[in-house]
Amino acid sequence: MTRSETFTKLFGNVSCVLRDGRYALRIGSFYISQSSFLIAAAVLAGIGGGLGAVLFRKLILLETWLAFSGIGGHLKFLGPLAIVLQLAVGGIIAAWITTRFAPEAKGHGVPEVMEAVALRGGKMRPRIIAIKAIASATSIGFGGSCGREGPIVQIGSTIGSVLGQVSRAPAPITRTLVACGAAAGISATFNAPIGGVFFAAEVILGEFAPRSFAAIVVSSVLSAVIGRAFLGNHPSFDASAFQLVSPFELVFYAVLGLLAAAWATGFVRMLYWFEDAFEKLKMPAWTKGAIGFGSVGVIGLAFPQVFGVGYDSIQAVLSRHVPAAHAFALAFMKPLATSLTLGGGGSGGVFAPSLFTGAFLGDGFGRLIHDAFPSWTAPGAAYGLVGMAAVFAAAAEAPITAIMIVFEMSSDYTIILPLMVCVVIATLFGRRFLGATIYEQKLLRRGIDWQSVRRPRFLSRINVATVGRKPPVVAQLNESIDEIVRRDADAGELAVPVCNGEHFVGIVTSAELASAVSSGNGAQPVHTIVRTATEFLRPEDTVERAATLMAEASTPLLPVVDVGDHLVGIVTRRDVLQAYRSIVDV
């Protein structure tokens, strides 16, 4: 049995259909409304994303044990060289997995989700769930410098995408389910349900549509509950010592925002410089992985804090004194190590490295400011906490996400005011310095202009095949006008398509039929009054094209024909308006 036959056997009676202008899930002879379906699917995406996040973190622990107690244990006799070899082995495995099974599992993960949402209606291959989890857990567990949020976003998004594909949902609903999965992943891994919602809306979808927002909230909340049940209900970082000493201190936070924007710009440019450099190397992927990860091992001999996700190091800088020179050094070394990891073929996110970089950059800056103005400023750790959000906001142009996630991760309300000031400044200058976000840059390198596709015109989002319908009345060339009028009386259509067999010929309007009958010509065949259609639609055309063609009052109906000019459906002004309503409601 082929894969398509298996799919048909399992889900052949499941599909999404348009009923009364709104989508509904059909299961056999039963129908579930769009709202009910979205909430039910959001619940499943939340559960799947939450469990996926928990299992992924457990898998990282397993890979860490394998790397340090397994392979690393047999290499201890080599001394410091053992660390370099251990990292190289991890790079070889991660690069081989992504190259062999799923190239889209390489790198950040978030740009791949954005690409699927923008260009493929949210469709993603189910195998990404397993491949991304294994490749990323290997990259992180063996010591690669990358984050776990990108993989979890891609895993959760793929779960949402699979739900949409199984139910054969249209693109707007599938995209919403992808965002639900992304929110679930962020919510569970960071214990930040509000931040997960804003990440999905701000970064993945690029919009805050009411219907999709409600579904995303449901998914994020359920995922947070699962995450807290398995991982504990506590903030990711302890920032209880934070305080705003003086209103004048807001000026220094604004300066930190500008510095964070400049540092984030360097991070992004370094990342893609190394990706280009590795791409130009004419050698097998596993060799590139060994070079990239091995280089991280060399850096880690002097700066072991660059290994892995780095949350322990972030907590350390928020809790204890770190000399400014050492903090600035780590703020540079972490982006370098992350660039080598991902450029060499590793799989992991850039969110955690951004937080790490911002924490040490802010702490170093805060130490200098506090030494110069001790009565006006808080200790450097306060600047480190704010710097975490600022660097990510500048790199991703996601100020709301940055503010909410860091606020939830620290559970300290007093941070809000300086956090908002610093993040807004960083976001404004980040866009000016970079021109495109860290995620958009990867898409631009593939020839995808995210800014133009993230906000497409409403009716260009769906094609005619989605909204076209079978005509209730189809006239034949030799059929009498009286007979057509009789059949059209119950249908109430403004126009009727005319065919010669299955071959489309033209249309005749209700007004033309009525005029012929009143003139005593009802017994004549319809070919005497039929109008040859000069415009028609293909199933793959967009509804926007249909709306443009029907702008003329003389075109109440457009035929949908296949390559052989066989009539397969019709689109009327009512169908276009119902399609618009369905998009706005989703």
Name residue 162's amino acid. V
If one counts the domains in the chain, the total is 3
Which is more confident, 40 or 21? Answer: 40
Last residue of a domain, one of 173, 198, 231: 231
Q: Which of 58, 204, 75 is nearest to 140 (CA)?
A: 58
The SS3 call for residue 507 is strand
Q: Which of 163, 191, 203 is nearest to 349 (CA)?
A: 203
Q: Is 238 part of a structural domain of the chain?
A: no
Q: Which of 305, 291, 303, 271 is nearest to 90 (CA)?
A: 291
Reported as half-sphere exposure (CB side, CA atoms, 13 A), residue 552 has a value of 8
Q: Is 379 part of a structural domain of the chain?
A: yes
Of 205-214, 367-376, 527-536, the least confident: 205-214
Asked whether residue 211 falls in the same domain as residue 330, the answer is: no
Q: pLDDT grade, residue 260 (50/70/90)? A: very high
Q: Is 311 part of a structural domain of the chain?
A: yes
Close Cβ partners of 217 (under 8 Å, ≥ 6 residues apart): 183, 197
Residue 499 tokens, joined: 């065919």
Close Cβ partners of 541 (under 8 Å, ≥ 6 residues apart): 463, 464
**H helix runs in 303-347, sequence order:** 311-319, 324-343
Q: Is 239 part of a structural domain of the chain?
A: no
Asked whether residue 212 falls in the same domain as residue 302, the answer is: no
Q: What is the CATH number of the domain that holds 346?
A: 1.10.3080.10
Answer yes or no: is pLDDT of 14 > 80: no
Asked whether residue 66 falls in the same domain as residue 200, the answer is: yes
Residue 207 gets which letter from DSSP? S
Reported as half-sphere exposure (CB side, CA atoms, 13 A), residue 24 has a value of 13
Asked whether residue 466 falls in the same domain as residue 449, the answer is: no
Q: Is 236 part of a structural domain of the chain?
A: no
Residue 10 has a CB neighbour count (10 Å cut-off) of 10
Question: Span 3-32, mean pLDDT?
Answer: 54
In the block, tokens 């000493």 appear at 245
Last residue of a domain, one of 203, 231, 259: 231
Give the residues across from 27 on adjacent strands. Answer: 14, 30
pTM (predicted TM-score): 0.74
Q: Is 253 part of a structural domain of the chain?
A: yes
Question: Span 34-56, mean pLDDT?
Answer: 87
Asked whether residue 434 falls in the same domain as residue 493, the answer is: no
Answer yes or no: is pLDDT of 457 > 80: no
Asked whether residue 209 falls in the same domain as residue 189, the answer is: yes
Residue 181 tokens, joined: 């999965």
Question: Span 163-176, mean pLDDT?
Answer: 81
Q: What is the CATH number of the domain that holds 519?
A: 3.10.580.10
Return mean pLDDT, the chain: 83
Asked whether residue 279 falls in the same domain as residue 424, the answer is: yes
Q: pLDDT grade, residue 582 (50/70/90)? A: low
Close Cβ partners of 567 (under 8 Å, ≥ 6 residues apart): 471, 474, 497, 499, 502, 503, 504, 559, 560, 561
Asked whether residue 109 falls in the same domain as residue 140, the answer is: yes
Residue 264 tokens, joined: 């984030």
The SS3 call for residue 545 is helix
Q: H or E stretch including 79?
A: none
Last residue of a domain, one of 453, 476, 503: 453
Share of the chain above pLDDT 90, in %: 24
Residue 308 gets which letter from DSSP? S
Q: Is 144 part of a structural domain of the chain?
A: yes
Residue 260 has a CB neighbour count (10 Å cut-off) of 33
Q: What is the pLDDT of residues 121-144, one digit of tens each?
A: 788 888 888 888 899 999 999 999
Asked whether residue 207 falls in the same domain as residue 317, the answer is: no
The SS3 call for residue 305 is helix
Reported as half-sphere exposure (CB side, CA atoms, 13 A), residue 222 has a value of 25
pLDDT given for residue 67 in this prediction: 85
CA 487 from chain centre, in angstroms, equals 49
Close Cβ partners of 115 (under 8 Å, ≥ 6 residues apart): 443, 446, 448
Residue 387 gets which letter from DSSP? H
Q: pLDDT grade, residue 8 (50/70/90)? A: very low
Q: pLDDT grade, residue 562 (50/70/90)? A: confident
CB 429 within 8 A of CB 259: no
- State the residue range of the domain holding 484: 462-585
Asked whether residue 411 falls in the same domain as residue 469, the answer is: no
Q: Is 483 part of a structural domain of the chain?
A: yes
pLDDT given for residue 3 in this prediction: 46
Answer yes or no: is pLDDT of 242 > 70: no
Asked whether residue 303 falls in the same domain as residue 418, the answer is: yes
Q: Which of 486, 490, 555, 534 is nearest to 514 (CA)?
A: 486
In the block, tokens 């319809």 appear at 526
pLDDT given for residue 6 in this prediction: 45
How many Å apart are CA 51 and CA 522, to the nearest integer?
68
The SS3 call for residue 479 is coil
In the block, tokens 């510095």 appear at 259
Asked whether residue 193 falls in the same domain as residue 223, the answer is: yes
Share of the chain above pLDDT 70, in %: 87
pLDDT given for residue 212 in this prediction: 78
Which is more confident, 115 or 450? Answer: 115
Question: Span 471-490, mean pLDDT?
Answer: 86
Residue 461 tokens, joined: 């989002």
